[in-house]
Copies of this chain bind each other. A is one copy, B any other.
Amino acid sequence: MVTPDSIQRIVFVGAGNIATHLAVALHGAGYDIAQIYSRTEASAKALADRIGCAYTTQPQEVTDTGDLYVFAVSDDALAPLLDRVSARRDALWVHTAGSLPMSVFAGKCARCGVLYPLQTFSKNRMVDFAEIPVFIEAGNAADADLLRRVAGRISHRVAEISSEQRKYLHLAAVFACNFTNHLYAVAAKLLQEHGLPFDTLLPLIRETAAKVESLAPADAQTGPAVRYDRRVMQRHLDLLDDPAAQEIYRLLSQEIHRFATEKQS
């Protein structure tokens, strides 16, 4: 196998959704995944079996033969792990978190960076990594170049951004993905309670997402709130028997109207 660049052996610390999708993609791109660490044996084994590599559940048994260590664990788990893993100190260490600065690595290793794929990953759902934007950051230009090449083997949308920008990108992603998905969940619950199948909404959900590929979201807005049709909004509030759903309805309707008013002025 042709070595794509000077990163050859990659070690994954973490075996959750991001680790799984990233490890599978990097393995598919020809990298040698040397080992998977997870404190949960079932997760470590599942990912290691999928790739055909070694695994461990002990931080002190993490191999020191890696060129790149990818820490894909929850934000809270990262700092304590950095002190305990027996990773090679002069290898490149990166995390995959949107909201943690690169500076979490300060004093822990010689070379550090971030490799942040902006996507929502669920374990049993395949994704086409090539279309996923991957944002990188590194402590020096040579390592930024290395990360750019590694990321470029799995995605054709690689960009370098600062820790500061990445924080806001992650926050925006929470609105556009996690919060949006919750609204789908509220809609699904309403339909279920009234004997209507959720898939009725799929063409609407698809078009709502597709519209913002060509229109700014503020220009794509439709519905009773943008017209501030009080009668329709009151009828809708009367239909909702869940106080939290009412509160979401009121707050988002007010905000839609405020955005529309500010756009006009």
Binding site for B on A (CB under 8 A): 17, 74-76, 99, 118-122, 125, 127, 131-133, 157, 159, 161, 164-165, 167-188, 190-191, 193-196, 198-209, 211-227, 229, 231-232, 235-236, 239-240, 244, 247-249, 251-252, 254-256, 258-259
Q: Is the CB of B168 within 8 A of A196?
A: yes
Are A175 and B203 neighbours in the complex by a CB distance under 8 Å? no
Closest chain-B Cβ to A174's Cβ sits at a distance in Å of 6
* Copies of this chain: 2
Contact partners of A173 in chain B: CB under 8 A: 187, 201, 204
Distance in angstroms from A119 CB to nearest chain B CB is 6
Closest to A233 in B: B174
Q: A178, B251: Cβ atoms under 8 Å?
A: no
Picked from B179, B216, B220, the residue with its CB within 8 Å of the CB of A248 is: B179
Chain B: CB-nearest residue to A118:
B204
- With A119-B203, A204-B120, A209-B208 known as contacts, the answer to whether A221 contacts B181 (CB < 8 A) is yes
Taking A175-B186, A180-B205 as given, write out 16 further A-B residue pairs in contact, using a Cβ cutoff of 8 Å, ordered by the A residue number: A99-B224, A118-B200, A118-B203, A133-B200, A165-B196, A168-B194, A174-B223, A176-B187, A177-B208, A178-B226, A180-B184, A180-B208, A188-B216, A198-B216, A205-B209, A208-B209
Contact, CB under 8 Å: B74 / A227: yes
Chain B residue at minimum C-beta to C-beta distance from A182: B256
Residues of B within 8 A of A195 (CB): 165
